[in-house]
Structure 1
């Protein structure tokens, strides 16, 4: 199969460990190109661990992880090249406080390209326009609302025109209106730019309406993979417990303190 015809992401028989603890096992997953896939699950279910495997931060203990038609490399130079093809929107935004919105967006362009200053400035303007914030170019992160800061972080994530976007809890800390704006932007940018998007979240009802595929992770494994409609119609007790937010059911609520990392 040609690399361009392969799924944007493919996991086969993957086991992910943190130290001596297995977080996820038996992962088999494909993310079609051009799709929006929602990866859902309760807090602590391993969603962020999955993201670490996709970006090469965490090497699988078993199985294979392929991104954009190639195995995630372990050699540093090849891994950095792959990461330039992946845009990541962090839940904490990760904006540099001493840079303006425009300067934050320009940073990856200045770091990873040799484009002239005038071209970078034009690209920054285009990215700000894409998220509806051209007027905020000279504002510092402290001068932005939570929703505006998240949109600046999104503009920075798409600065290098990555074919794959990963959203790590993009709605955390946002009010309902700001959440609606971000969800609409994710959908519009995916269609307009021809992206593939993976949204890792526990915000089920806000995310499913824009998703083509839904994956539910719980109890250390994938417990559901299919369309959002099939997910909501599922009779699986574990899936329904998560969707309805029930405290009792197959998904255990672990109230014991976690052991400190060695």
Structure 2
């Protein structure tokens, strides 16, 4: 498939292996530039493995992974340069506890740029303002609620103005109100900053309203790729079991059973 400016992420016949076990096989996926794409699936389905391939942490056994038309490199120097174009929000936030919120946001700017301190300070203010936490600049992570800490981590992920944002289970550990704030923020930032966003999650009902593209992974493969509306109308037994939260069905609860299938 010819890559265009309209394609942010493209995976072609990708097989991903952990140890001696094939986690995902024959993965073919195109993420349009400017979209908010949900990668959904039960725990242990391979969502984090797919994320590792997108960030270059895991090299595919077969197939190609391309970001904005360029193959994800393997050399350390080229990989570091590529990762500057990625913003990743980790489910554990990854904030350094001995740094304030502002210092956490400033960290990638101080590490990867030669900008003067006053410019970095101004950028930190802008990023914190974008997530509604300008007043929390001098607070330490222990002084933040779970939702506030997640938003600080988001501001840090946006520090280098990456064109592609990847959210790894962004709602883990958050209450319904904080979850709503995070999802609304993801949608607003994607639109106002002209981003492409990939949300890796098992929180279906909270995520689908802000997405325009949905992918479901189960039993080592992609079982659905389409719009949220098409997903909700799907008659596929795998999709119906996942969306309905049914314990019995083609998706095995026991991971060893799923591997043997």
- Per-residue displacement from partner, 1:5-61 (whole Å, max 9, x unpaired)? 151100000000001000000100000000000000000000000000000000000
- What is the aligned residue count? 258
Q: How does 1:27-46 map to 2 (within 5 A)?
A: 27-46=27-46
Q: Structure 1: which 5+ runs fail to align? A: none
Gap change, CA 1:2 and 1:240, over 3 Å in 2: closer
Normalised by the size of structure 2, how large is the TM-score? 0.96
| Matches of 2:219 and 2:58, distance apart in 1 | 20
SS at 2:7 equivalent: coil
Paired position in structure 2 for 1:174: 174
Paired position in structure 2 for 1:63: 63
Normalised by the size of structure 1, how large is the TM-score? 0.96
Q: Does 1:193 align with 2:187?
A: no
Q: Does structure 2 retain, via aligned residues, the 8 Å contact 1:14–1:27? A: yes
Paired position in structure 1 for 2:123: 123
Off by >3 Å, runs of 4+ in structure 1: 1-4, 255-258
Q: Does structure 1 retain, via aligned residues, the 8 Å contact 2:44–2:255? A: no
- Per-residue displacement from partner, 1:190-239 (whole Å, max 9, x unpaired)? 00000000000000000000101000000000000000000000011110
- Per-residue displacement from partner, 1:166-201 (whole Å, max 9, x unpaired)? 000000000000000000000000000000000000
SS at 1:216 equivalent: strand
Q: Does structure 2 retain, via aligned residues, the 8 Å contact 1:13–1:25? A: yes
Q: CA deviation at 1:257?
A: 11
Gap change, CA 1:129 and 1:24, over 3 Å in 2: same
Q: Does structure 2 retain, via aligned residues, the 8 Å contact 1:6–1:69? A: no
| Matches of 2:241 and 2:116, distance apart in 1 | 54
Q: Does structure 2 retain, via aligned residues, the 8 Å contact 1:93–1:149? A: yes
Q: Structure 2: which 5+ runs fail to align? A: none
Q: CA deviation at 1:114?
A: 0.3
Gap change, CA 1:10 and 1:3, over 3 Å in 2: closer
Paired position in structure 2 for 1:88: 88
Q: Does structure 2 retain, via aligned residues, the 8 Å contact 1:215–1:224? A: yes
Gap change, CA 1:255 and 1:27, over 3 Å in 2: closer
Q: Does structure 1 retain, via aligned residues, the 8 Å contact 2:91–2:170? A: yes
Paired position in structure 2 for 1:136: 136
SS at 2:74 equivalent: coil
Paired position in structure 2 for 1:221: 221
Paired position in structure 1 for 2:11: 11
- Worse-superposed segment, 170-179 or 68-77: 68-77
Q: CA RMSD in A?
A: 1.5
